[in-house]
Amino acid sequence: MSLRIKKGDTVKIIAGHDKGQTGKVIAVDPETELIKVENLNMVSRHHKARTAQEQSDIIKTEGNIHISNVMLVCPSCEKTTRIETMEADGKKHRKCKKCGFDIDAKKAEKKDTKKRASKTASQDKTEKTEKTSSRVKRTRKSDAAKTE
């Protein structure tokens, strides 16, 4: 469940072909502990044409990297760091061991501002066409505010 790397994190690759490079995590498999990092560890997938209509080609795609081969990069101090887990609001938060920055707190804030921005932009439309659905959204939001 609680992997130290999550989707959207910035990580530095510490082993293999792209050693030393940093990138954004685009996929995490908690079972195998394999991740994919945007534009890094690219592998070629050879696609063989199976029908006359298909074309054989080589597709470049992100290959799996085991989480032990990456280090988390702290969004605050921008250093590779180990994490400390702590409880905040009943949830597990990851904290940078070097600067003490709450990595998961920052993400939550980012998501909130995005939601707010999109809400104001599409407010006129939703108010007219989706009155019921926007009402549902609002109640959900207020529920979340209470739990926070």
Nearer Cβ to Zn ion (101/141): 101
Shortest Cβ distance from residue 105 to Zn ion (Å)? 13
Nearer Cβ to Zn ion (10/64): 10
Shortest Cβ distance from residue 101 to Zn ion (Å)? 5
Nearer Cβ to Zn ion (64/76): 76
Nearer Cβ to Zn ion (12/36): 12
Shortest Cβ distance from residue 15 to Zn ion (Å)? 22
Binding region for Zn ion (CB under 5 A): 74, 76-77, 96, 98-99, 101
Shortest Cβ distance from residue 133 to Zn ion (Å)? 40
User: Looking at the DSSP assignment, which residues form a beta bridge with residue 144?
Assistant: none
